[in-house]
Structure 1
Amino acid sequence: LLACFVAVAAFGSLELLLLIFDFFKRRRGLYFWSLLLSTLATLIFTIVITLLWFAVPQARFGLVFVIVICYPTLNVGNTLVIYSRLHLVTSARKIRWLFWMIVISSVVFLLPQAIIVTISASPDGEHVRDLYRVFEKLSVTATCVREMVVGGVFVWATARNLKPLIVIKGREGRKMVIYLIIATTMMVVTDIIIV
């Protein structure tokens, strides 16, 4: 079952990588870079996870080191993708606190997790594996809360600030707003399932 999820993630990342370079004519900005980095990190992460299943013990530490780099990149990148689209539905001044919440929560939860994972993967790392299990649950919960906050702000700002679009565009505008809200809600529901 896990192999199926890894295969779907790898295929989806590869497809998204091709779409990114096809879609973006100007390759700059937070949206482009966060989307590109989180997609590359997800692709590399799936490859490394697959290699870990078949790895000889001597290669394990090197593969875990790659995971330590990829996991925070895809984790923060996914949140920054959503954050980078917020300026479309609200003013940048109002959402600056979200950027700092993303930065602070990443440093507080992902940096210690990376250190603990690296230590636990070393040959003498047996003593921190229990700490890793506890901190991993804490980190996943914090990540989900962070994404729910960003997604919630996105849904709220979309519903509130795009009312004139609904009036002007009529049915088409309403459908677009509903699609945006459904996509963000699906992300939040997925986070809740993970926790």
Structure 2
Amino acid sequence: MSGDGNIPVSSNTSSFASWASPGAGITGGYDGDSQTLRIFIVFFAALAIYNAIELITMVFLTFHRYRGLYFWSLLGAAIGIIPYALGFLLKFMNFTTGNLRWLAVFLLTIGWYPMITGQSLVLWSRLHLIVSGERGERIIRYTKWMIIIDAIILHIPTTVLTFGANGDQDTLVFERGYNVMEKIQMIGFFLQEVTLSSIYIVETVKILRVSMQPGTRRTMKQLIIINVVIIVADLGLLGLEGASLYILETLLKGVIYSIKLKLEFAILGKLVKFVGAPKAISSPFPSEKESPDTNMNNVHDFVDLSRVRSDMTHAESVPSKRRHSNRSPQSDLDYDIARFQHFEDIETLNEDIVSQSSRSRETFEHE
């Protein structure tokens, strides 16, 4: 949602009586005398980098195969936080002055792109797990173009104005343009993430209305809470941007995005356990080694699957003609209910099998 935080550097850098004053930090690094603020700058930058490194480690330890949009967007967004936070640290602590200012601007910019757009791609890459049918395909297609268009019209102009404001000619003109564009792109990315989070919330509420399995309901509730947290966090950053509290906004931005990514990573991976998305709707990217098959609790040890006439691990594929038929909204909802009920039945079957096996072992040991 947020901007690149590249607060322009101009020749008329001055000290500010208060770091929280509107405009503080807009013309360069922090030149005030508050040691507390300097400690906060180092602390929050280090915390964002730590969260990013921890998430990167968790990603590589969790995924069996390094492929798929979910994997690469999650990894890219996490990696982007590191140069972003490092560039912010160098900039506001005045470690890079003169020609070295370009190092901080470069780091902030290359980190900003994957951190912001990568966050939206992480959410988008899992949409196919909760939407289906023609309506689901439209949602996936429209949101994909929303992300692409926003990246072009919001990232590029902001970057041009940032580098122009840090140059040696017409810096005041670029600086005024940056101040306007910064707020525009903040609002644009905010609306983008709100749109994606709202889709998750709406679709998850539908699932909760029909789901009876405790495991499914618990995961869906967690998904709603996390997306509400994302919206609230973005609102907070947007408010700081509107008040022109650039230092405070940038202090929190890297940390907030790293926390949002960790929350998304924790909950979005669980969705694969409850839905057979690759069968329900054509996935727009290769999925990593996460499938309902891995959650069958070794059914082969207890059940002779050669005697089962239907595929118990995936929802029945829907023929293309039927899938693209003119279904009403109610029939789409019925389809979603049936799909989730199928996998909840499988979950129940797994639990019964494991429970029966445990009882059998206890009886054998007794005898």
Structure showing the higher helix proportion among its residues: 1
Residue matched to 1:110 = 155
State the distance in 1 between where 2:103 and 2:82 align: 17
Match of 1:57 among 81, 86, 98: 98
Residue matched to 1:159 = 205
Matching of residues 86-105 of structure 1 within 5 Å: 86-91=127-132, 92-95=136-139, 96-105=141-150
Normalised to the residue count of structure 1, the TM-score between the two structures is: 0.92
SS in 2 for 1:180: helix
Q: Is the 8 A contact 1:89 1:162 kept in 2?
A: no
Pair 1:138-2:184 in alignment = yes
Which amino acid is the alignment partner of residue 89 of structure 1? I
Count residues in correspondence.
192
RCO comparison, higher one (Cα < 8 Å, 6+): 2
Pair 1:33-2:72 in alignment = yes
SS in 1 for 2:126: helix
Stretches of 4+ moved more than 6 A in 1?
none
State the distance in 2 between where 1:3 and 1:79 align: 27
Q: How far does residue 141 in structure 1 lie from its aligned partner after superposition?
A: 1.1
SS in 2 for 1:179: helix
Unmatched segments (≥5 aa) in structure 2: 1-39, 239-367
Which amino acid is the alignment partner of residue 152 of structure 1? S
Match of 1:7 among 31, 34, 46: 46
Question: Share of identical aligned residues, percent?
Answer: 27
Match of 1:67 among 108, 127, 131: 108
State the distance in 1 between where 2:42 and 2:119 align: 22
Q: How far does residue 9 in structure 1 lie from its aligned partner after superposition?
A: 1.2
Decide whether aligned partners of structure 1 residues 2 and 63 sit closer, same or farther in structure 2, where only a CA change above 3 A counts.
Answer: closer
Residue matched to 1:44 = 83
Which range moves more in the overlay, 177-186 or 41-50?
A: 41-50
Q: Is the 8 A contact 1:113 1:135 kept in 2?
A: yes
Decide whether aligned partners of structure 1 residues 6 and 126 sit closer, same or farther in structure 2, where only a CA change above 3 A counts.
Answer: same
State the distance in 2 between where 1:101 and 1:41 align: 21
1:11-59 C-alpha deviation (Å, 9 max, x unpaired)? 1101101101111111111100101111101112111221222113221
